[in-house]
Amino acid sequence: MQIVFGIDFGTTNSALSVYRNGAVEVVAVDGGEGPEELMRSVLYFSEDNEIYTGSEAIRHYVGDEASGRFMQSIKTFLPNTSFDSTEVFGKRYSIDDLVAIILKRLKECGEAHVGCPVESVVLGRPVVFSTDAAKDAVAQQRLERAARKAGFKNIWFQYEPVAAALAFEESLQPGQERIVFIGDFGGGTSDFSVIRVKGGAFCRSDRRSDVLAMGGVYVAGDKFDSQIMWDKIAHYFGRYARYKTMGKDEWVTFPRSIINTLCQWHRIPMLRGRTTREQIRVIKNSTDDRQALERLENIISDNYGFYLFQAIEKAKCELSRMERTAIEFTERDLLISQELTKDEFETINGGNFQNIAECIDEVIGRSGITPAGMDTVFLTGGTSRIPLIQDLFAQRFGREKLENRDAFTSVVHGLGSSVPLFV
């Protein structure tokens, strides 16, 4: 009996499915607070050299008062050719080493479930890791190397939205045929595809001719969080601070690049470099907002960006079902209570929604099928819960065509269903 795993290594969440005897099941991979079939794609290296993943990583990070190294959104580094490796407590880890730790953990959960070693896997990949073809290739190679390091010998790739389409296919009656627009809105990327699906037994043939168009943008949940940070929170850390340079009597605005880095929480540790810290120290001595600069120094040295961004993400998710909320956060003498309405959220993210809308239209155009000619719009991924994302599709296709299902597991389920296409 052949057993193959499907792994959805996501920017925010990862999951595992098992294919055996022609059936697919999604397996528990984390016993923490969240849904057991999802593992947060995070790593924590404690000072005594233990490595944790998922909710365990978060628990230790919080418990150790952030003394170790915490990493998240690792997937977004895959296409980044200027990032090759990082040193953690004297040991060097390449990007594929880091990814391999997560894949290995998932593999172990799957093996514990089926009771034997498994060496074959279908890995999901976004339609675009990067718009630069060379970087896109590097990202997939790194992911493949990571899978090898995790102990897999047979490795195949499937596009994430195609996997979502296959999951949708299983809900159709045998023989039923549909043209479906799939939108998968995750943490790092929003991926689209137009695909012809057919109900019935697993289709073993090559499905390439059924994929009518694909596309994607690097705009998803993380970008929305960053934008909230930029517009609603960054002023607490000096976004509008001004300062005077030595010997001159003019006010200069605070360096944008520092605030930019601050708005991508996983990059905040990069501000720890000696030159940047010195730069901030000098500015602090001649600024009109010394308190903000002190907070900036604190967030860098105490590394509480993770918690701040959790508060931001929580508010964002609340706005998917409420008209208004507040971002609440306290740390030492910093007290943030920042109102945020759904309208404001939509306005400040206008550019991000615009980029998504343009990509949707491009994919519709390339498919050669008019919106009226598409039978169903299937939306999945955590970010698809944002009402304005739903509206983008309702405007184009009509609300009655929208289907929302299994926001967090349809991709991993479909990766399992993809197995017969490869083996």
Nearer of residues 243 and 329 to ligand ATP, judged by Cβ: 329
From 7-15, 252-260, 280-288, 327-335, give the range in contact with Mg ion by CB under 5 A: 7-15
Q: Which does 221 bind (CB under 5 to 8 A by kind): Mg ion, ligand ATP, none?
A: ligand ATP
**x/- string (CB under 5 A) for Mg ion, residues 161-200?**
-------------------------x--------------
Q: Which does 105 bind (CB under 5 to 8 A by kind): Mg ion, ligand ATP, none?
A: none
Nearer of residues 114 and 394 to ligand ATP, judged by Cβ: 394
Q: Per rule CB under 5 A, is residue 68 in the interface with Mg ion?
A: no
Rounded to the nearest angstrom, the gap between the alpha carbon of residue 310 and the centroid of all alpha carbons in its chain is 14
Shortest distance, CB of residue 121 to ligand ATP, whole angstroms?
17
Q: Which does 130 bind (CB under 5 to 8 A by kind): ligand ATP, Mg ion, none?
A: none
Query: Is the torsion defined by CA of 317, 170, 378, 222 positive or negative?
Result: positive
Cross-strand pairs, 413: none
Q: Which does 385 bind (CB under 5 to 8 A by kind): ligand ATP, Mg ion, none?
A: ligand ATP
Say how far apart CA 9 and CA 47 lie, in whole Å: 26
Binding site for ligand ATP (CB under 6 A): 10-13, 75, 186-189, 220-222, 313, 316-317, 320, 381-383, 385-386, 408
Query: Which residue minimizes CB distance to ligand ATP?
Result: 221
Contact with Mg ion (CB under 5 A) among 5, 9, 10, 54: 10
- Where along the sequence are the contacts to Mg ion (CB under 5 A)? 10, 186
